Amino acid sequence: MSFDTPAGTRGARQPAGRMLRLLNTLVAKRIRRKGKFGGFNALILTTVGRKSGLERTTPVGWWPGGDGNWLIVASAAGAPGNPAWYHNLAAHPDKIKIEVEGREVAVVAEQLHGAERAQAWEQIIAAAPRFAQYQQKTDRELPIIRLVPRSGG
């Protein structure tokens, strides 16, 4: 499935900069210990930078996607633009790994669309209503990504 969500024209300020990197490092340490952050399950997403080619890690919340898959949302807290990791996934959807529940898993990313996205969205906002608030802040449809374990990974 394609990664084709364009940026919006309005939204919250997108988190960025040195403070965010420091916060992400601290959050990742907590996730490695507890598996949760902010009241829901969390994982550490490792992508390959679309411009740099370097590995980039980001803590993100996840929800069960069925069949041993994980769902994540490219919310950027309701910013008009997609987070950098979304663009990294789009550039290298088959070069992704996650740390979840004490293990490292190689995964492939697929963006959900249509009815499949709608069903996943209802599941996510029922479990984490703050994501509905993020959606209200922006006119960009928040992408939902399914992470599927890679064969042989």
Domains annotated for the chain, with CATH where assigned, are 18-64+83-149 (2.30.110.10)
3-state secondary structure (DSSP) of residue 131 = helix
Closest CA to 69 of 116, 24, 31: 116
Predicted structure pTM score? 0.88
- The tens digit of pLDDT for each residue in 116-151 reads 999 999 999 999 999 999 999 999 999 999 999 998
User: What pLDDT is attached to residue 100?
Assistant: 94
Burial of 34 (0-12, 13-18, 19+ CB in 10 A): exposed
Q: Please give the pLDDT value at position 38.
A: 75
How many CB atoms neighbour CB 24 within 10 A? Answer: 17
Distance CA 97, CA 85 (A): 12
